[in-house]
Amino acid sequence: MSSSNKVETKLIHAGELRPRVAGAVNLPIFQSATYEYGGEDDYHDIRYIRLNNTPNHTVLGAKLAAIEGAQAAMVAASGMAAISTTFLSILSKGDHILLQDCLYGGTHDFVTKDLPGLGIEYDFINASDPASWEKKIRKETKIIYVETIANPLMDVPELPAVVEFARTHKLVSIVDNTFASPINFRPAEMGFDLSVHSCTKYLNGHSDIVGGACIGKAELVKSVTRKLNHLGGTMDPHAAFLLHRGMKTLALRVRHQNESALKIAQYLEKHSAIGKVNYPGLESHPAHARAKEWFDGFGGMLSFELKEEDAGITDQFLKTLQLPICAPSLGGVESLITRPATTSHLGLSKADRKKIGITDSLVRFSTGIEATEDLIEDFEQALKKVSTTVSR
Ligand SMILES: *Cc1c(COP(=O)(O)O)cnc(C)c1O
């Protein structure tokens, strides 16, 4: 395995133990809470399951670092464990953090409901408008935090400007790279200090575990790991085994999802019952030029509005679909569909939702690995029924 190998090769071979354990082709599950004392002289080096240092943890860390082209990586019990622990390893009482204004719900709630109690203040920024960031900076600001592709309108921030701004103001730049996955975007290559992931989504890809990761500069990853050792949000070895298995097909899955999502977005954009389609791969998307320049693919996530802005008709449309499962989450092999007004953005009033572009007929789609033709055919039959209902 050479460091110049392509990502498909790294997904299989990077970080693997040599020699293999008892010759096993697959890394076994190390179902052992504790390990023989080997003369370790630092608490964090003691080999104990919560200290994130079983082979199931360290092999995943090495593989994740290799595929994002970063110095180091670690895994955690969930995406939120990775994100909250990352924040808490950098921020302390009196500090301040800048964040993109349309964050993943769990991150938004942690920042607005939990950080103030710890004496940590925050401000939201419009991540597409770097000129507006300067007036939000304080001498206590420590982090600037964005998401590669933001839910549910699939906006893409001015990513290089985030890196530049962090350098100028000596902040830690962090990006939640869950939606893009390391196949489409590798933050370390652009100069981000850290990236965080919900491995529950694309990295595992099979909707059967919860997990998280933090990837980036070695010094920072080390302090996140030490904080996780204290907070205890450690990934279970069984989940680590499934994540390791799921990651091997990451490139195959994501490339198919990129291709399929683009075809579906193009199909929907031409359909007379559809108002607007939000997909960075479409020329009509406000972030298309940015995404094209920085990403290797536009991802598997898209959203669209039915022309008829009616919650009842939209719910009926979702029920008429045969293949996509109506469920939250994303990034798995099965296509999932949701209506953000009733799921991720239920906490906002209808008027507030409308202000940020989330109408009652907005639908979010996570493209699975089913045949694209079958998904389009399914949309076709369901949209035909919408058209008959509307014209009646
Ligand atoms: C799901 C998700 C998270 C949280 O991850 P969990 O594994 O559910 O804790 C964070 N960020 C984004 C963008 C997500 O989609």
Task: Evaluate whether 141 touches 165 at the Cβ level (below 8 Å).
Answer: no
- Closest ligand 1 atom to the C-alpha of 178? 13
Looking at the chain, the whole-number percentage of residues with pLDDT higher than 90 is 92
Q: Atom 6 of ligand 1 has which residue's CA nearest to it?
A: 79
Where does ligand 1 bind, in terms of residues with CB under 6 Å?
A: 78-80, 104, 106-107, 147, 176, 178-179, 198, 200-201, 210, 212
Report pLDDT digits (tens) over 22-72: 999 999 999 999 999 999 999 999 999 999 999 999 999 999 999 999 999
Distance 310 CA to ligand 1 centre (A): 29
Residue 343 to residues 38, 228, 278, 310, 339, Cα–Cα distance (Å): 50, 30, 18, 16, 6
- Closest ligand 1 atom to the C-alpha of 151? 13
Best substitution site from 201, 203, 204 to test ligand 1's pocket, by max atoms within 8 Å of Cβ? 201
Higher-confidence residue: 389 or 335? Answer: 335
Q: Atom 5 of ligand 1 has which residue's CA nearest to it?
A: 79
pLDDT at 347: 77
CA quadruple 138, 194, 106, 264: dihedral sign: positive
Best substitution site from 75, 78, 103, 104 to test ligand 1's pocket, by max atoms within 8 Å of Cβ? 104
Distance 207 CA to ligand 1 centre (A): 12
Report pLDDT digits (tens) over 120-162: 999 999 999 999 999 999 999 999 999 999 999 999 999 999 9
Task: Quote the pTM value.
Answer: 0.97
Distance 136 CA to ligand 1 centre (A): 26
- The token pair at 247 is 């990651």
Q: What is the mean pLDDT of the chain?
A: 96
Burial 97-130 (b: 16+ CB within 10 A, else e): bbbbebbbeebbebbeeebeeeebebeebbbbeb
Best substitution site from 103, 178, 207 to test ligand 1's pocket, by max atoms within 8 Å of Cβ? 178
Identify the CA nearest to 386 among candidates 318, 337, 304.
318
Report pLDDT digits (tens) over 244-278: 999 999 999 999 999 999 999 999 999 999 999 99
Distance 205 CA to ligand 1 centre (A): 13
Q: Atom 4 of ligand 1 has which residue's CA nearest to it?
A: 79
Q: Is residue 19 exposed (0-12), middle (13-18) or buried (19+ Cβ within 10 Å)?
A: exposed
Mean pLDDT of 14-19: 97
Region class of 69: left (phi > 0), else alpha (psi between -120 and 50), else beta:
left
Q: Atom 8 of ligand 1 has which residue's CA nearest to it?
A: 79
CA distance 133 to 147: 16
How many Cβ atoms from other residues are within 10 Å of residue 324's Cβ? 22
pLDDT band at 392; cut points 50, 70, 90:
low
Report pLDDT digits (tens) over 169-178: 999 999 999 9
Higher-confidence residue: 390 or 110? Answer: 110
Report pLDDT digits (tens) over 68-90: 999 999 999 999 999 999 999 99
Domains 7-247 and 250-391 alike in fold: no
CATH superfamily, region 250-391: Aspartate Aminotransferase, domain 1 (3.90.1150.10)
CA distance 98 to 100: 7
- Tell me: pLDDT of 219 over 90: yes
Each domain of the chain, given as residue ranges in start order, spans: 7-247, 250-391
Distance 98 CA to ligand 1 centre (A): 19
Distance 285 CA to ligand 1 centre (A): 24
Topology of domain 7-247, CATH? Aspartate Aminotransferase; domain 2 (3.40.640)
Q: Which residues are catalytic?
A: 50, 104, 176, 201
Higher-confidence residue: 77 or 386? Answer: 77
pLDDT at 350: 86
Identify the CA nearest to 8 among candidates 175, 330, 251.
251
Output DSSP code: residue 44: G
- The token pair at 199 is 């491995």
Beta strands in the chain (DSSP E): 72-76, 96-100, 121-125, 141-147, 172-176, 194-198, 212-216, 274-278, 301-306, 325-326, 336-338, 362-366
